[in-house]
Amino acid sequence: MKKPIRYFVVINLFLWMFLYGVCPVSASELQSEEETQEVTAVSESDDYSLKNPPVLLDGKEISYQFVDSTYPTNVQVITTKRNRTLKTVSEGTYMTLKNGSWVIESQVWTEPANTTHQITYTNTSGISLPIPNRDYKVSVTFQNSGKSSYQAAVWDERGIQTKNKTVNPGKTVTVTATVSVIDGNLKLFFIPKTNAYVPENGWANVQVSGISIETITAKTQSAIPTIHIAGDSTAHTRTADVYPREGWGQEFYQCFNNGKLLSVKERWDTQELTSYAEYKTSTLVIKNWAYSGESSSSYWRKGRFDNILNDANPGDYVLVQLGHNDSASSKIEVYSTESEYRENLVTFAKACQTRGIQCIFMSCTPRCVFSGAKLAPTLPTYKSAMRSAASKAGVPFVDINKAIVNYMNTLGKSATQSYYMILKAGQYSNYPFGYHDRSHLNQTGAKKIAQITAVTLKESGVFPAKISSHITAADDYYSDVTLTISQVKVTKTTVKKTTKKAAKKKKNQVRYKVSWKKQNKAKQYVVYQYVESRGTYKKIASTKNNYYTLKKGTTKKQASKIKIKAILNRYY
């Protein structure tokens, strides 16, 4: 058919349809199934619908806003330009409507190429949903009305939350993710997978036909609390193939209930995002989520911290010890400026607080780096940022780094090095040629750091009695000396009133004073009193003096049942 004739026929056909009210109609209802299941065929009609796909919260449609996420045009892994801009807009810049679905044209690329230190950038549009701070199950249905398959994932405002799923032509796929909302707003993005290393090659489309959000029922407090560890390689549970390398989180259970375990469970996910090692005792559970190479940024962006929130119950504890990798400016995918680090930590704390979980910040395990003959503090500026974040968020900060450094400096350089992966050739079969690693711990070091961590947490008062009372044997790791009653002198003493007004109301009080001979190198003395009803000794005080005045009402008999422990080589 010649072109003029073909155009004439087409124009007359549309005129006839318009005059007689005939228009093509395509009605196709899409039903989402389980994640990974492909369901109904998608219409290939080119008609455009004016109605956005439904967004349901617990079965009811809710309102939302569009939001754009953009990075600088030429990022080129310059750390000062890697932060994106999130902007609320009236319509998604990268979105169009087609058959009741969003067609999202995103620009996705990864920099730098050919290295493990990569970060993915996206210029895209999504939606912003004002919903309460809770945990939610989010289901997103992708459809494909094109002729080529594509892969897509669901992200929230921090980063990836689901694995990439393939959507074949003419099919739909529903993917799910559990997301924790902490700021009263959930931002969702729908990201295609590309292999581009430059922005101009990173364009790809996805289609979203529906979103369903379900509120996850709030959890109740468990009878046995769990201590969750959010850390990096210095705490990571290691496998036998790298022995003697261990993380302190691997040995932390040894400091509770004399190290008696009921069970050990390990889970290693293929993407390692839900990996953990669980140590269960009769009084508490320790769940070590620490993983090598992680930072506060990657914990949040990958959804690793979400996994802890989703697993934890009200009344649980989360120990956050991150910073080594945050400070690594050469590792673009984990690096955080001090400001970003502080912001990430505050976010962690808020996420825990809204769920009744106690968040505790701990400064980093020190590297084996010396300044002269003394072990040097590690990452002092990041420690200051963590202290500031703790103050802002209203959570405890425990200076583990200072405790370890002070203790190690009582031992000397050679003894300190024996705790790290500084190995001689032939010393261990896994390292026949030796090894020199000043950041990571060997098994002996992991045990020591776990013990110092447990004692420091106990004496900082961040744990209630139901937990701290089960921290056992930790004091015995410091060559302490227990003074017998024959070495303790008990005398009467008069406590004078400080004001005339107080003296008129009550006479000067007579109390019992216990004293003892100073012990060489003792930094601290702990006073224990025998409790008849328990049949055990109870700690009643700590002092740097070699004497202590017992409280009012203590009898001579009770005063004669005092035990003093002199703490030697302590980390105070």
For residue 483, what pLDDT is reported?
65
Supply 155's token pair: 């992200």
For residue 325, what pLDDT is reported?
95
What's the first-to-final CA gap in the chain, in angstroms?
A: 95
How confident is the model over 378-425, as pLDDT tens digits? 999 999 999 999 999 999 999 999 999 988 988 889 999 999 999 999
Residue whose tokens read 């390692």: 272
What mean pLDDT do residues 88-102 have?
A: 92
For residue 4, what pLDDT is reported?
46
How confident is the model over 483-510, as pLDDT tens digits? 666 678 888 887 665 555 554 555 567 7
- pLDDT for residue 360 is more than 80: yes
For residue 273, what pLDDT is reported?
56
- What would the DSSP string read from start to end of 488-549? EEEEEEEE--SSHHHHHHSPPEEEEEEEEPPPTTEEEEEEEEEETTTTEEEEEEEESSSEEE
- pLDDT for residue 159 is more than 80: no
**10: enclosing H helix or E strand:** helix 3-19
Q: Which residues contact 373 (CB under 8 A, 6 or more apart)?
A: 412, 413
Cα–Cα distance, 362 to 403 (Å, whole number): 11
For residue 68, what pLDDT is reported?
96
Which among 226, 209, 213, 229 is positioned nearest to 179, based on CA atoms?
A: 213
For residue 519, what pLDDT is reported?
78
Q: What is the pTM of this model?
A: 0.73
How confident is the model over 212-253, as pLDDT tens digits? 999 999 889 998 999 999 999 999 999 888 999 999 999 999
- pLDDT for residue 49 is more than 70: no
- pLDDT for residue 35 is more than 70: no
Q: Are strands 481-483 and 317-321 parallel, antiparallel or unpaired?
A: unpaired
What mean pLDDT do residues 272-280 have?
A: 79
The tally of CA atoms less than 13 A away on the side-chain side of residue 267 is 12
Cα–Cα distance, 442 to 417 (Å, whole number): 10
Q: Residue 563 is which amino acid?
A: K
Q: What is the DSSP letter of 271?
A: T
- pLDDT for residue 262 is more than 60: yes
For residue 185, what pLDDT is reported?
92
What mean pLDDT do residues 258-280 have?
A: 77
Share of the chain above pLDDT 90, in %: 51
CA 479 from centre of chain: 35
Average pLDDT score over the chain: 83
How confident is the model over 542-564, as pLDDT tens digits? 888 889 998 888 888 888 888 88
- pLDDT for residue 442 is more than 70: yes
Orientation of helix 443-460 relative to helix 400-408, angle to 10°: 120
Which residue would you say has higher pLDDT here, 79 or 107? 107
Q: What is the dihedral of CA 200, 202, 205, 210, to 10 degrees?
A: -130
Supply 220's token pair: 């109740």
Supply 225's token pair: 């609390």
Helix (H, G, I), strand (E, B) or coil at 231: strand
- pLDDT for residue 296 is more than 90: yes
Cα–Cα distance, 404 to 106 (Å, whole number): 48
- pLDDT for residue 338 is more than 50: yes
Q: Residue 302 is which amino acid?
A: K
